[in-house]
């Protein structure tokens, strides 16, 4: 596959890792803030091949993991209604609410459907005028343009039975929160390549300078990831506080203007609660009042239910990069991919799920013996 296979070339990947080894003179802690990158790193075992001086920590880059519990419960309540066709991206189905998940709602007769694209949900609304179609609009900035287009398209088509339940989160406030934490050890950042494809990377130099942390826009194939790490390491070794673009084939400084325009038209910034972390001010997007008719939270009266997360679950600390999955006493025992306790194990991009599936359980066991 063009633009994929070349970036998996084993010889090139090894060559770049060797260059990292040659460049590094001391330890560095680097965070990647995209669930897709976590997945790629663990799947290809890239962290195994890096010199031990480089520690990779995983940030809260999984929109599924950080969707607040209260919102999941609202989604479940809406999906259970007989007049609703509830559409969602696949990985949300497994995320546990206080007591149940979308799978359980489906099992009890709720019409829950996996869609690949939000436009599929709009098509469903058009085809089922006597039903209410609700789309679970989660994601970071990458997924916002598709999600807002579904609203604009529904508006254009004059649909009265389409609405979205929004849980959008933004990367820069998250980075700000992580770097502001007194416990922070992150010295360099790999920025999420596709978030930057949409938003550009002009938002990051001020963050980089404020906290003196170099950053590299990074892609998703093994070669992209090691290139991002090399770029960051070089900046760190040279003491340069900059934002570099290690994914230039897909990302430009200004990003995708039409996409940004659509986002501003439909969404506005708001405070957002991040599961396991807490509320980060102005870190989310919600629908502007002009689009209230497409706002599922306004269309359906659903009561919030607050519930406690499992006391064993340290997803919050993992999401902030303060702990690793195998630091958790429940990892691999009470908490596995079959019976997850928290969001980072449920979502296929969550750090815990990635570690569990790609087998870091042994590390846990050997450390405990």
Q: Which is nearer to another protein, 114 or 268 (CB)?
A: 114
Q: Does 192 bind another protein (CB under 8 A)?
A: yes
The region of 71-79, 116-124, 204-212, 268-276 touching another protein under the rule CB under 8 A is 116-124
Q: Which is nearer to another protein, 103 or 300 (CB)?
A: 103
Classify residue 219 by its DSSP letter.
Answer: -
Q: What span, in angstroms and rounded, lies between the C-alpha atoms of 283 and 166? A: 13
Kindly identify the residues of this chain, within the stretch 60-99, that bind another protein according to CB under 8 A. 61-64, 89-91, 93-94
Provide, rounded to whole angstroms, the least separation between the CB of residue 209 and another protein.
25
Q: What span, in angstroms and rounded, lies between the C-alpha atoms of 242 and 220? A: 21
Q: Name which position in 37, 163, 232, 283 contacts another protein (CB under 8 A).
A: 37
Q: What span, in angstroms and rounded, lies between the C-alpha atoms of 129 and 94? A: 28
What one-character-per-residue DSSP string does 298-341 give?
Answer: HHS-------PPPTT--HHHHHTTSS-GGGSTTBTTTB-SSS-S
Q: Does 367 bind another protein (CB under 8 A)?
A: no
Please identify which residue in the block is written with the tokens 């997803």: 315
105 contacts: CB under 8 Å, gap ≥ 6: 76, 79, 80, 86, 112
The region of 35-43, 265-273, 295-303, 307-315 touching another protein under the rule CB under 8 A is 35-43
- Report yes or no: 66 and 34 within 8 Å, Cβ to Cβ: no
Q: Does 19 bind another protein (CB under 8 A)?
A: yes
Classify residue 290 by its DSSP letter.
Answer: G
- Distances 362 to 46, 219, 333, 348, 356 between C-alpha atoms, Å: 17, 29, 12, 20, 10
Kindly identify the residues of this chain, within the stretch 249-278, that bind another protein according to CB under 8 A. 249-251, 256, 258-259, 262
Q: Does 58 bind another protein (CB under 8 A)?
A: no
Q: Does 26 bind another protein (CB under 8 A)?
A: no
Q: Which is nearer to another protein, 124 or 302 (CB)?
A: 124
Q: Which is nearer to another protein, 231 or 302 (CB)?
A: 231
Please identify which residue in the block is written with the tokens 């098509």: 123
What one-character-per-residue DSSP string does 137-181 give?
Answer: EEESGGGHHHHHHHHHHHHHTT-SSEEEEEEEE-HHHHHHHHHHS
- Report yes or no: 69 and 97 within 8 Å, Cβ to Cβ: yes
Q: Name which position in 140, 274, 291, 294 contacts another protein (CB under 8 A).
A: 140
Residue count at the site for another protein (CB under 8 A)?
Answer: 91
Q: What span, in angstroms and rounded, lies between the C-alpha atoms of 355 and 38? A: 9
Q: Name which position in 145, 188, 228, 284 contacts another protein (CB under 8 A).
A: 145
Provide, rounded to whole angstroms, the least separation between the CB of residue 338 and another protein.
5
The region of 221-229, 266-274, 284-292, 298-306 touching another protein under the rule CB under 8 A is 221-229
Q: What span, in angstroms and rounded, lies between the C-alpha atoms of 294 and 298? A: 8
Q: Which of 166, 165, 151, 167 is nearest to 300 (CA)?
A: 165
The region of 17-25, 74-82, 282-290, 314-322 touching another protein under the rule CB under 8 A is 17-25
Kindly identify the residues of this chain, within the stretch 151-190, that bind another protein according to CB under 8 A. 153, 156-157
Q: Which is nearer to another protein, 94 or 273 (CB)?
A: 94
Q: Which is nearer to another protein, 46 or 175 (CB)?
A: 46
Q: Does 300 bind another protein (CB under 8 A)?
A: no
Q: Which of 135, 67, 97, 24 is nearest to 349 (CA)?
A: 67
Q: Which is nearer to another protein, 73 or 101 (CB)?
A: 101
To 10 degrees, the CA torsion angle through 237, 240, 246, 250?
Answer: 170
Provide, rounded to whole angstroms, the least separation between the CB of residue 25 and another protein.
8
The region of 1-9, 77-85, 304-312, 314-322 touching another protein under the rule CB under 8 A is 1-9
Q: Does 142 bind another protein (CB under 8 A)?
A: yes
The region of 127-135, 218-226, 280-288, 312-320 touching another protein under the rule CB under 8 A is 218-226
């Amino acid at each position: 596959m063009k633009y994929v296979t070349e970036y998996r070339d084993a010889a090139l990947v090894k060559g770049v890792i060797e260059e990292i080894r040659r460049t590094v003179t001391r330890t560095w802690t680097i965070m990647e803030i995209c669930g897709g990158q976590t997945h790629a790193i663990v799947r290809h075992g890239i962290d195994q091949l890096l010199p031990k001086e480089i520690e990779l920590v995983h940030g809260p880059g999984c929109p599924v993991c950080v969707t607040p519990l209260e919102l999941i419960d609202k989604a479940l309540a809406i999906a259970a209604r007989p007049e609703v066709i509830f559409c969602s991206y696949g990985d949300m189905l497994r995320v546990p609410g206080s007591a149940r998940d979308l799978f359980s709602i489906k099992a009890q007769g709720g019409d829950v459907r996996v869609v690949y694209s939000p436009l599929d949900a709009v098509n469903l609304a058009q085809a089922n005028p006597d039903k209410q179609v609700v789309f679970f609009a989660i994601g970071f900035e990458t997924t916002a343009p598709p999600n807002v287009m579904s609203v604009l398209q529904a508006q254009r088509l004059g649909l009265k039975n389409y609405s979205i339940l929004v849980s959008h989160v933004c990367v820069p406030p998250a980075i700000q929160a992580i770097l502001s934490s007194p416990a922070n050890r992150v010295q360099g950042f790999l920025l999420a390549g596709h978030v930057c494809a949409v938003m550009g990377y002009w938002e990051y130099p001020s963050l980089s300078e404020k906290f003196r942390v170099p950053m590299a826009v990074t892609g998703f194939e093994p070669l992209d990831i090691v290139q991002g790490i090399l770029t960051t390491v070089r900046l760190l070794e040279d003491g340069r506080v900059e934002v570099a673009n290690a994914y230039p084939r897909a990302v430009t400084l200004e990003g995708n203007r039409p996409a940004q325009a659509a986002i501003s038209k439909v969404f506005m910034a708001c405070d957002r609660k991040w599961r396991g972390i807490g509320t980060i001010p102005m870190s989310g997007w919600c629908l502007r009042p002009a689009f209230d008719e497409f706002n599922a939270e306004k269309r359906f009266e659903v009561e919030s239910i607050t519930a406690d997360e499992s006391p064993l679950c340290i997803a919050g600390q993992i999401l902030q990069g303060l702990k690793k999955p195998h630091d958790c006493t429940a990892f691999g025992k009470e908490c596995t991919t079959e019976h997850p306790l928290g969001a980072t194990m449920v979502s296929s991009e969550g750090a815990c799920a990635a570690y569990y599936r790609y087998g870091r359980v042994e590390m846990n066991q050997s450390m405990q013996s």
